Amino acid sequence: MARRSEHSLEEIKEMILKAAEDIIVMDGLQALKVRRIALEIGYTVGTIYMVFENMADLIMHVKGRTLDELGDFLDEYSPDVPSDQQIVILAKKYLEFANQNYNLWSMIFEHRLSKDQAIPEWYQDKVDQAFVRIEKLLAQLAPGYEQPYVHSAARAIWSGVHGICILSLTDRLSYVEIQKIERNIMLLVENFIRGWVLTSESNH
Amino acid sequence: MARRSEHSLEEIKEMILKAAEDIIVMDGLQALKVRRIALEIGYTVGTIYMVFENMADLIMHVKGRTLDELGDFLDEYSPDVPSDQQIVILAKKYLEFANQNYNLWSMIFEHRLSKDQAIPEWYQDKVDQAFVRIEKLLAQLAPGYEQPYVHSAARAIWSGVHGICILSLTDRLSYVEIQKIERNIMLLVENFIRGWVLTSESNH
DNA sequence: ACCTGAACACCGTTCAAGT
DNA sequence: ACCTGAACACCGTTCAAGT
């Protein structure tokens, strides 16, 4: 025992994160235990505390990964359509990601760190990267509003899309059910934009 | 010890729920432990299992209570204002409740029961009572749309309001910060309604 | 019948001890 | 230096034993 050096610390860290993700995808966040991760990667519990401070730290890193994946997924949007349709497409992609990766996605919002623990800066950056990027994309599509107002509108409509997702989605829905949610998202986004553009025009 | 009969089972149940609520309000759901509840009500842990199946059962009852309180609070809305303003007022009241009772309110959405446990019927009824009532109120304000379409729109805009709340709120925000969130809610609701009424008019 | 509290299984975390 | 695994504190839940 001890001093195996079969894997570098970086490799072990990667193995742990991969194992944790697998467990969450299969059985949800509640099924994530140190001993199970240890078993899955062929090390003992102590090893996990070599590369992560504690469980909360490990979970934050899994959440960070999911945010990265979400960002990458949303970047694959197709820019060869009318502006107002792009928002709908982006919103649909968000729904698709949330549905396909439900246990990982919902974990981002379910898990709250205890009051004394501050949100790590690197994590907050990832949140910003994922969501502010969305807001920027939406803001590009805006008519001649003032910058801060555009930002608010983007944030409002995007929160709205997220609200529909979080209240509608459960573990794994059928295609028909997803289509219903898609229609609700379109309802919200299209009517909002229609009302918004209308106000813009009457201002000029 | 044993056979005290100082309180009826109903009284004990009430004491437990009250203690649990107090703990959650003060220190959040994570601070809720059987032993702490037992200490607070002056009984031992075994007693709690006389009136509740387990912790999950107890938590569901606390969530049910919060839903009742939320419903009562929203019923205090003032009907002596223009229809389109009523939605905004209702949405603002929702934000107010969520902010004032943050730990209880967020618990409704944070806590997920393990996969094997089904949602109790009485709890699902309370959810419907709280949220479908909102949807009905919103639906009343609608122009001459078809019934199912009105219902979808109500659900969409209400999910949107909830989305803004869930992404904006944290433990206890200042009055200024709450006002910012209020403005985002108004932005979403007012523009949605404007766009929606517009479509309605062009259909007739 | 009502309530206790020791006992159990399981959890995250630590750290002296091995190589 | 790297890794183990026993030990600790704490958790939810049970149930034989008291009155």
Instruction: Provide the residue count of chain A.
Output: 204
Q: Which domain holds residue A137?
A: 62-202
- Give the tens place of pLDDT for each residue, A81-119: 877 788 899 999 999 999 999 999 999 999 987 777 889
Whether residue B161 sits in one domain with residue B100? yes
Could you say which of A33, A52, A71 is where a domain stops?
A52
Whether residue B37 sits in one domain with residue B100? no
The reply to whether A112 falls in a domain is yes
Whether residue A136 sits in one domain with residue A48? no
The reply to whether B149 falls in a domain is yes
Residue B10 at interface with chain A, using a CB cutoff of 8 Å: no
Among positive and negative, which fits the CA dihedral B30, B36, B40, B42? positive
Distance (Å) from the C-alpha of residue B3 to the closest C-alpha of chain A?
38
Instruction: With CB atoms and an 8 Å threshold, state whether B152 touches A192.
Output: no
Chain B interface disruption, residue of A159, A165, A190, most B CBs within 10 A? A159
Element (H, E) at A165: helix A147-168
Whether residue B145 sits in one domain with residue B113? yes
Whether residue A127 sits in one domain with residue A42? no
Residue A44 has pLDDT above 80, yes or no: yes
- Say how many CB pairs under 8 Å bridge A and B: 120
What are the angstrom distances between the C-alpha of B158 and each of A159, B106, B170? Answer: 12, 16, 20
Whether residue B138 sits in one domain with residue B47? no
How many domains are there within chain B? Answer: 2
Indicate the Cα dihedral angle A128, B100, B128, B131, nearest 10°: -60
The reply to whether A57 falls in a domain is no
Whether residue B72 sits in one domain with residue B108? yes
Cβ distance A153 to B187 under 8 Å? Answer: yes
Q: Say whether the CB atom of B49 is under 7 angstroms from strand D.
A: yes
Whether residue B103 sits in one domain with residue B20? no
The reply to whether B167 falls in a domain is yes
Among positive and negative, which fits the CA dihedral B14, B20, B23, B27? negative
- Give the tens place of pLDDT for each residue, B53-97: 999 999 999 999 999 999 999 988 777 777 778 889 999 999 999
Contact residues, chain A, for B195 at CB < 8 Å:
190-196, 198
Chain D positions with a protein C-beta closer than 7 Å: 1-7, 10-19
Chain B interface disruption, residue of A95, A113, A170, A192, most B CBs within 10 A? A192
Could you say which of A34, A52, A70 is where a domain stops?
A52
The reply to whether B103 falls in a domain is yes
Instruction: With CB atoms and an 8 Å threshold, state whether B184 touches A156.
Output: yes
In this structure, what CATH number is given to the domain that contains residue B46?
1.10.10
Whether residue A111 sits in one domain with residue A151? yes
pLDDT at B204 (0 to 100): 47
Chain C positions with a protein C-beta closer than 7 Å: 1-6, 10-19
Instruction: With CB atoms and an 8 Å threshold, state whether A163 touches B168.
Output: no
The reply to whether A86 falls in a domain is yes
Mean pLDDT of chain B: 90
Residue A153 at interface with chain B, using a CB cutoff of 8 Å: yes
The reply to whether A7 falls in a domain is yes
Whether residue A139 sits in one domain with residue A47? no
In this structure, what CATH number is given to the domain that contains residue B175?
1.10.357.10
The reply to whether B57 falls in a domain is no
> Hey, what are A150's tokens?
């555009």
Whether residue B148 sits in one domain with residue B77? yes
- Give the tens place of pLDDT for each residue, A148-175: 888 889 899 999 999 999 999 998 899 9
Of B110, B159, B185, the CB nearest to A167: B159
Whether residue A96 sits in one domain with residue A8? no
User: What is the spatial distance between Cα B190 and Cα A65, in angstroms, rounded to a whole number?
Assistant: 36
What are the angstrom distances between the C-alpha of A22 and each of A69, B65, B193? Answer: 15, 36, 43
Residue B131 has pLDDT above 90, yes or no: no
